[in-house]
Amino acid sequence: MDPFSLNSLGFVNLLSSQCSQTTQTIDVGSSDVPKPVERRKWTTQEDIVLISAWLNTSKDPIVSNQQKLGSFWKRIEDYFNSSAQLIGFAPREWSQCKQRWGRVNEQVCKFVGSYEAALKEQASGQNENDVMKSAHDIFFNDYQAKFTLEHAWRELRFDQKWRSTSCAKDGAKERQKEAAESVPDSDEARPPGVKACKAAKRKKKGNEAAFDRLESILD
């Protein structure tokens, strides 16, 4: 056989064996590709416990001004995972709690503004349900997304940081009204002032002097 033909045949066999090895390597490796881990969504119950954990930890008078960021969120993690309301739930790490709280806080703060605007636009005869519907509409128009954390807003709405200014004004008006109602209207209930006391004494002395002069004339 021609030596050239033998060389060509050997080259073809070598090339075929290399292609076969490459194909086998690809087939074996393709089955080992890891699948992405599915992200676990937060439930309403978890949000409520997280809010309670944040409020209690941030308002702790003993450590509120002395705890570092890491220890602060570690305490929230411990509070969260030990809650009796989350028995049967998988535990959460402090980094997950911190990330979720940032989302909740941001959305609730935005909705506070929407609710404030709805209160200002409240017409006569509209009730709380009408105001809430208007607030959701305002939120959607402003941010092109639905507000899905109403349960979180209801947990935070009366805390000082998230309280509506209109609600605060209404509360101040109520306190002023109560104070006005508690003040007696009759002048008898009010103690006399210093000037009034002096005037009364001068009047009494004048009356006594006139009476003495009258007695002397009669005598």
Q: What is the pTM of this model?
A: 0.59
Given this model, what pLDDT does residue 148 score? 97
206 residue type, one letter: G
d(CA 131, CA 150): 13
Given this model, what pLDDT does residue 58 score? 87
Given this model, what pLDDT does residue 172 score? 45
Given this model, what pLDDT does residue 80 score? 97
Sort 80 into a burial class: Cβ within 10 Å, 0-12 / 13-18 / 19+.
buried
Given this model, what pLDDT does residue 182 score? 43
Cα separations in angstroms, 36 against 39, 95, 147, 182, 205: 9, 20, 28, 67, 100
Cα separations in angstroms, 89 against 77, 106, 148, 151, 152: 13, 25, 22, 19, 19
d(CA 78, CA 101): 15
d(CA 90, CA 209): 94
Q: Please, what are the averages of pLDDT over each run of 10 residues along the chain (219 residues)? A: 50 54 47 62 96 90 62 94 95 96 96 95 90 96 96 94 64 48 44 56 61 61
40 phi and psi, to 5 degrees?
-85, 125
d(CA 97, CA 89): 14
